[in-house]
Amino acid sequence: MHLAAMLESTARKFPTKEALVHGERRLTYRDLDDGARRAAAVFRDAGVRPGDRVAVVTYNTPGFVLAAFGLWRAGAVLVPVNHKLQAPEVARLVTHCGAVLGIADAALADVVRAGAPDLRWLWTEGQDGGGFDGLVASAQPWDGVAPDHDAVAQILYTSGTTSAPKGCLHTHRGLASVAAYTTAAVGLRHDDRFLLAMPIWHASPLNNWLMSMVFLGGTVVLQREYHPVEFLRTVAAERTTAFFGAPIAYVAPLQVARAQGLDLASFDLSSARLWLAGGAPVGAEVVAQIADFYPGEFHQVYGMSEMGPVGTTLGPAHQEVKAGSIGHAGMPGVDVRVVDLDGNDVAPGGTGEIWLRSDTRMLGYLDDEEATRAAFVGDWYRSGDVAHVDEDGFLFIVDRLKDVIITGGENVYSQEVEEALRGHPEVADVAVVGRPHADWGESVVAYIVPVLGAEPTLGSVRDFLSGRMARYKAPRHVVLLETLPRNPSGKLTKHVLRSHAAEI
């Protein structure tokens, strides 16, 4: 079914069930479905037609959810936009996707208006009953249109860590499958209350977790923005049962609470049963911290925007014995391979690129046929992630394919060097890249953010790594920085560092 019909079906089954919680505002499934129909009428009256694209730039608010389902009921295409982007970045995205309308929180008006001054914007929040929220409240519900299941429902932009962001084209059918496969993979339930504190425009919060709750008839508790202590308070106050976040989202509350002298035992987290982490592998030390404080089961999930996202999971039974792994098999509905440069499956003990196959995968990149062709081999999507397969078949990501450094004919996996350097007592943060070298092909460069007051040198770094890894993996250049370059999603932009390294 198309996505608005999914909401309609759930609302018919559970009309009075709490669907969405945002502070004091509480919407049942009947309210949410009615609001989506009213939003569809607002879009129709604004001139939005089936197939048109609408940019939505908000914090985690009901306005985003109403806009999304309203667009789908109107047969239009949702384009989620990172609310942390600056005006030139907003300009590029709304121009690239050809948006005919924008929906944004009033607090973001200055930035989005500066980025796209010629685009009509409707503001949510802070409009005293006017703007998008007011229009939805006063509109007459409209049944809308019934888009084909294989019509594009969403253009999801990648994080742009290796190049400019690319727009992944996802269909109604594909996103409905993401919800079903995610539900099965981690055991979500109808009675779950899912805390959504990570940005809702991200692939996983939106497609894995919001859509899974709508699919099941669960409850979504929206936290406008993630805050470590408010996160703990919300779990306790709303009796939430599930949460998804990057690994730091689990560690930060412990650090902040201790720094502020808060009693961690005062936060009642007994309602929680599922803790879900993604965005980076979780090592044994972090797993131990999480297990010691958070009750319930811990799962790691791996996927990417191009796949919906779906991929693999590492369940509770393997968190300690296979710490750092992303799992050994695909989620239900997902096939996974690790292949060598010739496209052959690697044996246990080998290293290769992760390929994934599922009916959740994108149709392709918007207006980029060359990148689309490069992304696929038949039905298989090439992830660009390089993984080592251990003797039990578990996958451990060692690098991005584009980040592998080849020096003197040897492969150096930058993440391996970074992980080792994070143990250096003077290193607060680090990124490793390659720079062209006339004789060796490439040489290893480490960009280091020092611990306050420290000044690690090339000699001290190489001495630290001696005995920990082969000499050819050790950096030949060390550059000290105050901060590492990251995109608005917080991911390293290594292409920026590679450009700098080439000029050293």
For residue 186, which phi and psi values (nearest 5 degrees)? -115, 0
Distance, first Cα to last Cα, the chain? 55
Q: What is the percentage of the chain residues whose pLDDT exceeds 90?
A: 77
- Give the pLDDT score at 261: 85
Mean pLDDT estimate for the chain: 93
Beta-sheet strands, E only, within 373-421: 376-377, 380-389, 395-400, 405-407, 410-412
Domain final residue pick, 106, 128, 147: 147
Which of 138-142, 337-341, 353-357, 484-488 shows the lowest mean pLDDT across its residues?
484-488
3-state secondary structure of 308: coil
Predicted confidence (pLDDT) at residue 45 exceeds the cutoff of 70 = yes
- Give the pLDDT score at 129: 53
How far out from the chain centre does Cα 405 lie?
A: 26
What is the Cα–Cα distance from 133 to 123, expressed in whole angstroms?
A: 8
- Give the pLDDT score at 163: 58
| Position with higher pLDDT, 5 vs 127 | 5
- Give the pLDDT score at 155: 98
Q: For 260-300, write each residue's pLDDT tens digit.
A: 888 888 999 999 999 999 987 787 878 888 888 999 999 99
Number of domain units in the chain: 2
**In contact, 389 and 346? CB cutoff 8 Å:** yes
Angle, CA 48 vertex, CA 165 and CA 175 arms, to 5°: 50
Is position 80 within any domain?
A: yes
What is the Cα–Cα distance from 90 to 88, expressed in whole angstroms?
A: 5
| CA distances, 83 to each of 61, 92, 107, 225 (Å) | 12, 14, 10, 11
| CA distances, 118 to each of 108, 113, 250, 470 (Å) | 16, 8, 41, 56
User: What is residue 45's DSSP assignment?
Assistant: H
Is position 227 within any domain?
A: no
Is position 213 within any domain?
A: no
Confidence band of 488 (pLDDT split at 50, 70, 90): low
Q: What is the percentage of the chain residues whose pLDDT exceeds 70?
A: 98
pTM of the predicted protein model: 0.88
**In contact, 29 and 71? CB cutoff 8 Å:** no
Bond into 316 cis (ω within 30): no
CATH number of domain containing 45: 3.40.50.980
Domain final residue pick, 110, 132, 147: 147
CATH number of domain containing 415: 3.30.300.30
Q: Residue 426 corresponds to which tokens in the numbers above?
A: 């003077």
**Taking residues 481-486, what's their average pLDDT?**
90
Confidence band of 438 (pLDDT split at 50, 70, 90): confident
Predicted confidence (pLDDT) at residue 127 exceeds the cutoff of 60 = no
Predicted confidence (pLDDT) at residue 452 exceeds the cutoff of 90 = no
- Give the pLDDT score at 260: 85
Task: Single out the residue of 459, 452, 493, 492 nearest to residue 474, CA to CA.
Answer: 459
Confidence band of 495 (pLDDT split at 50, 70, 90): confident
Burial group, residue 483, by CB count within 10 angstroms (0-12, 13-18, 19+) = exposed
Which of 152-156, 283-287, 417-421 shows the lowest mean pLDDT across its residues?
283-287
Is position 125 within any domain?
A: yes
Q: For 323-346, write each residue's pLDDT tens digit.
A: 989 999 999 999 999 999 899 999
Q: For 359-381, write each residue's pLDDT tens digit.
A: 999 999 999 999 999 999 999 99
Confidence band of 487 (pLDDT split at 50, 70, 90): confident
Burial group, residue 317, by CB count within 10 angstroms (0-12, 13-18, 19+) = exposed
3-state secondary structure of 244: strand
Is position 51 within any domain?
A: yes
| CA distances, 260 to each of 228, 253, 254, 264 (Å) | 12, 10, 10, 11
| Position with higher pLDDT, 419 vs 66 | 66
Predicted confidence (pLDDT) at residue 419 exceeds the cutoff of 80 = yes
Q: Count other Cβ atoms within 10 Å, centred on residue 72.
A: 28
Of 21-25, 278-282, 498-502, the range with the highest mean pLDDT is 21-25
Domain final residue pick, 91, 116, 147: 147
Predicted confidence (pLDDT) at residue 220 exceeds the cutoff of 80 = yes
- Give the pLDDT score at 204: 95
Is position 215 within any domain?
A: no
- What is the domain range of residue 430? 404-501
What is the Cα–Cα distance from 324 to 317, expressed in whole angstroms?
A: 13
Is position 110 within any domain?
A: yes
What is the Cα–Cα distance from 308 to 154, expressed in whole angstroms?
A: 10
- Give the pLDDT score at 264: 87
Is position 494 within any domain?
A: yes
Angle, CA 78 vertex, CA 72 and CA 83 arms, to 5°: 140
What is the Cα–Cα distance from 155 to 169, expressed in whole angstroms?
A: 5
Angle, CA 313 vertex, CA 308 and CA 316 arms, to 5°: 145
Helix axes of 131-138 and 29-45: crossing angle, nearest 10 degrees: 110
**Taking residues 229-250, what's their average pLDDT?**
94
Name the H helices within 300-390: 369-375
Q: Count other Cβ atoms within 10 Å, centred on residue 464.
A: 18
Predicted confidence (pLDDT) at residue 36 exceeds the cutoff of 90 = yes
